[in-house]
């Protein structure tokens, strides 16, 4: 069984193909920085894939893993009902396709779980590949199907999807002994908002080969960008020229360099200049109330780039601060979570009942906020000894706009802990 949490990615990974093709310099710049910390959403996706793989390899159902804890790179994820349902939706689709083929032909489909692909035999300038969640071969249909589980909610299109097509190419290379006329790429996205959970694209092998030729051309251009960077990296003028030539914002969502991409910064600043008359002393021009519908439409088209850039810069600055970088006008402060009860609630229940309020006004114990509302301002102090607000992380804020003490960076915490 594959270890989803520790699996290494190829330099040109299938999952990043769209970004690599559309921004040929992204591979070079991203290689210069370490992998970002795994998000909780990515960790839950890894956990979902892990139990889905177990289901397909053992014949179990996802519900049997309810309550199990899956260790990922930076998290420990307990399998809850939502994750079990997502995994089962994918497993049911794969099993259903195999049953459908068996019923129609009497033949058994071949299932390959977590098959790793290598595009190297095509003559790629980088190590390139990926892993297919499930690969199905239907011999009598002459069909190879790659099924990809997506646990996120954001819509992922199956049409012209470069990640899926890369998987399809890899599946063909990994199954060259099989007679295939068509390749089908299928997305199973159980938690999607506003769309069908199962979507597919089917291509004749000849069309996929044509697409692969175009992909190889883009790969070699990305290698050219990498080679030219070695000449330009220590010269600011050459680097600016390199950036303009090879960096193309637009597929930045998962790019590790979004926050400090020089080309994205220039474009975002150009957008901002439309709104600000003087960037040293900002005074908003182009007031919304004075805009024509055409001008408003153009402005709305610009805002997502500016918003995405601002988010990326904030995330990068926060990461730098946590590593010990000190900013003159900004500091880390503790991020405080919602109030919750301390472990021993018996004393709280007794105190609140003595105050004339039933803390179990609902079938379960009321939250601190709800109980405080019932108690009113004069009696709310009754619950103060029984609540706690845990620190859930840090925020980077303006020193001029906070009275909170500065939080310790991760670097400070780490070095203080050393003997």
pLDDT tens readout for residues 368-388: 777 777 777 777 778 787 777
Comparison of pLDDT for 269 and 68, the residue scoring more: 68
Of the candidate ranges 19-33, 193-207, 296-310, the one whose mean pLDDT is the lowest: 296-310
Tokens at residue 66, please?
Answer: 């309810």
Residue 302 sits in the same domain as residue 378: no
Residue 131 sits in the same domain as residue 40: yes
Question: Of 157, 188, 218, which residue constitutes the final position of a domain?
Answer: 218
How many domains is the chain built from?
Answer: 3
Q: Is residue 31 part of a domain?
A: yes
pLDDT digits (tens, 9 = 90+) for 46-87: 999 999 999 999 999 999 999 999 999 889 999 999 999 999
Residue 309 sits in the same domain as residue 344: no
Q: What is the mean pLDDT of residues 277-290?
A: 47
Residue 59 sits in the same domain as residue 152: yes
Residue 295 sits in the same domain as residue 369: no
Task: Burial-class residue 157 by CB neighbours within 10 Å (0-12, 13-18, 19+).
Answer: exposed
Tokens at residue 153, please?
Answer: 């909610």
Question: Of 290, 319, 348, which residue constitutes the final position of a domain?
Answer: 319
Residue 212 sits in the same domain as residue 314: no
Asked if pLDDT for residue 282 goes beyond 70, the answer is no
pLDDT at site 288: 45
Asked if pLDDT for residue 414 goes beyond 50, the answer is no
- CA 275 to CA 288: how far, in whole Å? 10
- CA 19 to CA 255: how far, in whole Å? 8
The number of beta carbons lying within 10 Å of the beta carbon of residue 221 is 16
Q: Is residue 207 part of a domain?
A: yes
Asked if pLDDT for residue 289 goes beyond 60, the answer is no
Q: Is residue 231 part of a domain?
A: no
CATH number of the structural domain spanning residue 68: 3.90.320
pLDDT at site 303: 72
Asked if pLDDT for residue 281 goes beyond 60, the answer is no
Instruction: Output the average pLDDT for the chain.
Output: 83
Comparison of pLDDT for 252 and 391, the residue scoring more: 252
Q: Is residue 232 part of a domain?
A: no
Of the candidate ranges 23-32, 156-165, 395-404, the one whose mean pLDDT is the lowest: 395-404
Residue 192 sits in the same domain as residue 294: no
Of the candidate ranges 176-190, 290-304, 315-329, the one whose mean pLDDT is the lowest: 290-304
Residue 177 sits in the same domain as residue 301: no
Asked if pLDDT for residue 170 goes beyond 50, the answer is yes
- CA 391 to CA 405: how far, in whole Å? 13
- CA 226 to CA 240: how far, in whole Å? 15
Band of residue 19 on the pLDDT scale cut at 50, 70, 90: very high
Domain that residue 314 falls in? 257-319
For 327, the 3-state DSSP assignment is coil
Residue 192 sits in the same domain as residue 336: no
Q: What is the mean pLDDT of residues 202-231?
A: 96
Residue 30 sits in the same domain as residue 116: yes
pLDDT at site 391: 65
Question: Of 269, 287, 319, which residue constitutes the final position of a domain?
Answer: 319
The number of beta carbons lying within 10 Å of the beta carbon of residue 65 is 20
Q: Which residues pair with 396 in a beta bridge?
A: 332
């Amino acid at each position: 069984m594959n270890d989803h949490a520790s699996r290494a990615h190829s330099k040109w990974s299938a999952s990043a193909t769209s970004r690599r093709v559309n921004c040929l310099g992204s591979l070079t710049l991203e290689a210069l920085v370490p992998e970002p910390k795994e998000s909780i959403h990515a960790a839950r996706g890894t956990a979902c894939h892990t139990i889905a793989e177990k289901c397909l390899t053992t014949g179990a159902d996802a519900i049997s893993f309810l309550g199990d804890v899956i260790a990922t790179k930076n998290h420990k994820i307990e399998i809850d009902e939502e994750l079990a349902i997502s995994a089962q939706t994918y497993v049911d689709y794969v099993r259903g396709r195999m049953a459908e083929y068996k019923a129609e032909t009497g033949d058994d489909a071949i299932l390959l779980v977590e098959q790793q692909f290598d595009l190297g035999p095509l003559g790629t300038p980088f190590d390139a590949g990926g892993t297919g969640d499930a690969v199905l071969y239907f011999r009598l249909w002459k069909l190879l199907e790659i099924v990809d589980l997506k646990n996120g909610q954001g819509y992922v299109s199956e049409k012209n999807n470069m990640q899926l097509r890369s998987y399809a190419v890899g599946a063909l290379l990994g199954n060259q002994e099989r007679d295939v006329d068509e390749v089908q790429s299928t997305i199973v996205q159980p938690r999607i908002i506003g769309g069908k959970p199962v979507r597919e694209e089917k291509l004749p092998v000849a069309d996929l080969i044509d697409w692969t030729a175009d992909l190889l051309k883009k790969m070699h251009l990305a290698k050219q960008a990498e080679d030219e960077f070695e000449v330009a990296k220590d010269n600011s003028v050459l680097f600016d020229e390199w950036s303009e030539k090879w960096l193309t914002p637009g597929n930045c969502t998962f790019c590790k360099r979004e926050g400090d991409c020089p080309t994205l910064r220039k474009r975002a600043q150009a957008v901002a200049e439309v709104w600000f008359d003087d960037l040293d002393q900002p005074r908003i021009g182009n007031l919304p109330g004075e805009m024509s519908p055409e001008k408003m439409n153009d402005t709305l088209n610009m805002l997502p780039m500016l918003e995405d850039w601002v988010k990326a810069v904030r995330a990068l600055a926060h990461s730098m601060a946590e590593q010990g970088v000190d900013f003159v006008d900004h500091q880390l402060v503790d991020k405080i979570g919602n109030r919750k009860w301390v472990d021993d609630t018996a004393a709280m229940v007794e105190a609140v009942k003595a105050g004339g309020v039933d803390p179990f006004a609902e079938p379960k114990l009321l939250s601190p906020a709800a109980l405080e509302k019932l108690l009113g301002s004069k009696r709310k102090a009754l619950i103060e000894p029984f609540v706690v607000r845990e620190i859930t992380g840090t925020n980077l804020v303006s020193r001029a706009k906070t009275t909170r003490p500065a939080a310790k960076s991760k670097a400070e915490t780490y070095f203080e802990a050393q003997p």
